[in-house]
Amino acid sequence: MSAVDRSDGGTVQVRSRDGSYDVIVEAGVLAELPQLITDRVTAQRFAVISDDNVAPIHGRLIMEAGLDAGLDMALFTFPPGEASKTRKSWSILTDEMLDACFGRDSCVIAVGGGVTTDLAGFVAATFLRGVPVVQVPTSYLAMIDASVGGKTGVDVHAGKNLVGAFHPPRLVVADPEVLTTLPVPEREQGLVEAFKHGAILDGAYFASLEDNVEDLRAAEPGVAGPAVARSVELKAGVVSEDEFEGGYRQILNFGHTLGHALEAASEYTLGHGSAVALGMLMETRLGERLGVTEAGTFGRLRKVLEVLLGPLAWSATDPESAVSYLRADKKVRGGRPRVVLLRRLGEVDPGQGWSHEVPWETLAEELATGLGVA
Amino acid sequence: MSAVDRSDGGTVQVRSRDGSYDVIVEAGVLAELPQLITDRVTAQRFAVISDDNVAPIHGRLIMEAGLDAGLDMALFTFPPGEASKTRKSWSILTDEMLDACFGRDSCVIAVGGGVTTDLAGFVAATFLRGVPVVQVPTSYLAMIDASVGGKTGVDVHAGKNLVGAFHPPRLVVADPEVLTTLPVPEREQGLVEAFKHGAILDGAYFASLEDNVEDLRAAEPGVAGPAVARSVELKAGVVSEDEFEGGYRQILNFGHTLGHALEAASEYTLGHGSAVALGMLMETRLGERLGVTEAGTFGRLRKVLEVLLGPLAWSATDPESAVSYLRADKKVRGGRPRVVLLRRLGEVDPGQGWSHEVPWETLAEELATGLGVA
């Protein structure tokens, strides 16, 4: 029954343009971080980047262990939250590293959630035209999603993640034990991506997640570790196939075309997980309506997502503003919108190049319909 | 007698991480730009980026030709000069493209000198995590140096080019005819890099440059075109071998370790070409002093560089501030300084991995000695 039955996580190898890198998922592995870094990165100095919430917990422990092991390490912090994922924070962190005389023989160690892995990754991507980054994700979302695939970047006024770079990490170290320090709502939001991986790629994994919602929410290491490892394995398989989102990688956008529009329409009061959950539901309802998705998929998906997140509803948006939110998405900017549709839970419909071109009006209608309370 | 005898420039293929790209050097080739772009770039929209000096001349012609050919093109401009090579200009250009709804199917066309190719290249490198860039260099420096090799970036307070990315162009189109629109001092400054290429890689090319200083300065197409083509060919050979400056590519830094320090020490009142010329001279004097460089090399190099640039002299700097300027260089940041030394004109001494580790004190002494009037 797939990864949830494994007890020890594991190591997943991801292929990338610059070679390949390991994602190590293992309870307690953070204690071995200095050794892992020494073995795999040829750098003389290490810049640990973390937000002000994570720095006093995991950032400090990593610093202490690194300094004890004789590594030349310094800690750089920034205020927590999506509001920090900006060109300004990126500039400040870069300048602080420059002022501290970090050079080409540096390595960035990103310790935190998705904001940190994206922001610190972009600092590394552009520091002296690129230095290595080691990702140490501390949230479900970062472990499952943000730290694998090499996407880095920041938000700008025109939208989220519109400025950035592909910069594959040298190593990803995910310790499921740290998930217990994560607030429960953040665990719930992050787990949505695990359900997405199951929905698009592995029906058995989806079923096992359905059976273990409570333990996943509690971040029980014996359940959380294998789930993270399986999600990483599934995502790694996709990005190894298509690093730059030319074709197959699109399937990871399931729920995101409408999800991003909902997130923008809510002025980001909706959590990313909730927005993607609503997006997956609306895209599945659309798929059923178009005869692409097996009937009943929407109902089953809604049921488990509501066990995870509580009632999911979205009140109607006027179609015109719905279109404007859709157009803001970088995946559809300047082009025609494409949506990933399921064939059934565990399988994406191949469509035309792994997605379906859907008229603006149809998508806007979907958003404008909203989602009533079940 | 090498490239200066060819009459028609030529096409040089450069290998890169993402495949390979052509550098087309040909008088009058700009007229074919729309066709070349259509043939080689799969994009729907084109952002022409140019400074306020170049935009009304070459930018406008390229826009007109592109629009006539039915391409969807828009022009984005910024104030001329190194002072524009900043994160701020990069942000503004990026936001303007986003506001104009440029999406993933975009291509940046950089039209201008080194500041433009670096700045617009960095916009392309980070726009929606990277869109293609076509480089259309309009100065000797940009044709010979900046447009080949994929380096993009901006200056920050701590130093020049400290933030950026490797983003190889999809195509480079260099039309030597445009060099006649370039102010003479800029031609002279840019040609220093051609002498550098000859000095490190091709003694016959160096000699042909020596014989043709006046025609090169006048940008005679029959002499300028082949010289640009030969320099591109030499540089392309180096960066094809070592794209990310791990080893062999270092030889391109000849003159630059001390040159950058001199540029900084002058507070950038010294032109880049003059600074590199002084750097090459001081590094050659050092090479002769260390017994690495053939005696007489310094004298011959100085003679031709003074024919090109006029008298070259540098008054002594106090050793302490000289060291601080050296430490600001990204090539030596946090590490030990390395200098590329010639064996003779046309050949670099292999040293240890294509450069020599030289103590800080020796380099500082070299800077502190300065260079008296010949």
CB atoms within 10 A of CB B211: 14
* Cα–Cα distance measured from residue A15 to residue A114, given in angstroms and rounded to the nearest whole number: 21
Work out the end-to-end distance of chain A between its first and last CA atoms, rounded to an integer number of angstroms: 30
Contacts of B105 in chain A (CB under 8 A): 334-335
Q: Minimum mean pLDDT among B82-91, B186-195, B264-273: which range? A: B264-273
Torsion from C-alpha of B163, B165, B171, B175, nearest 10 degrees? 20
Closest to A303 in 3D by CA, of A269, A280, A270, A271: A280
Enter the pTM of the model: 0.92
For B148, the token pair is 């080949």
Q: Which of A34-48, A329-343, B12-26 has the highest mean pLDDT?
A: A34-48
Q: In this predicted structure, what is the pLDDT of residue A283?
A: 97
Owner of token pair 């309802």: A285
Quickly state the pLDDT bin for B225 (edges 50, 70, 90): very high
Q: What is the pLDDT of residues A49-71, one digit of tens each?
A: 999 999 999 999 999 999 999 99
A126 chain-B contacts, CB cut-off 8 A: 126, 153, 163-165
pLDDT for the residue numbered A334: 56
CB contact under 8 A, A165 and B129: yes
DSSP codes of every residue in B73-86: EEEEEE--SGGG-S
pLDDT at position A332: 58
Give pLDDT, residue A4: 34
Nearest to A333 among B87, B104, B156 (CB): B104
Residue B6: what pLDDT? 39
| Cα of B186 vs its chain's centroid, Å | 12
pLDDT band at A2 (very low <50, low <70, confident <90, very high): very low
Q: What is the CA angle A29-A32-A35, rounded to 5?
A: 145
Q: Do A165 and B101 touch (CB under 8 A)?
A: no
Q: Which residues of A touch B17 (CB under 8 A)?
A: 17-18
Interface of A with B (CB under 8 A): 17-18, 44-45, 87, 91, 94-95, 98-99, 101-106, 125-130, 151-153, 156-159, 161-166, 244, 327, 330-335
pLDDT digits (tens, 9 = 90+) for B51-91: 999 999 999 999 999 999 999 999 999 999 999 999 999 99
- Output the pLDDT for position A122: 98
| Mean pLDDT for all residues in chain B | 91
Rounded Cα distance, B291 and B248, in Å: 22
Check CB contact under 8 Å for B159 and A98: yes
**Please, what is the Cα angle at A125 between B133 and B273, to 5 degrees?**
60
Mean pLDDT of B29-41: 95
Rounded CA-CA distance A155/A374 in Å is 34
Residue B334 has pLDDT above 50, yes or no: yes
Distances (CA, A) of A228 to A2, A21, A258, A305, B273: 12, 17, 25, 18, 54
Q: Residue A130 CA to chain centroid, in angstroms? A: 22
**Contact yes or no for B304/B224 (Cβ under 8 A):** no
Q: What is the pLDDT of residue B4?
A: 34
Residues in A closer than 8 angstroms to B94, CB to CB, are: 156, 162-163
Rounded to two decimals, the ipTM of the complex is: 0.91
Per-residue pLDDT, averaged over B99-122, amounts to 96
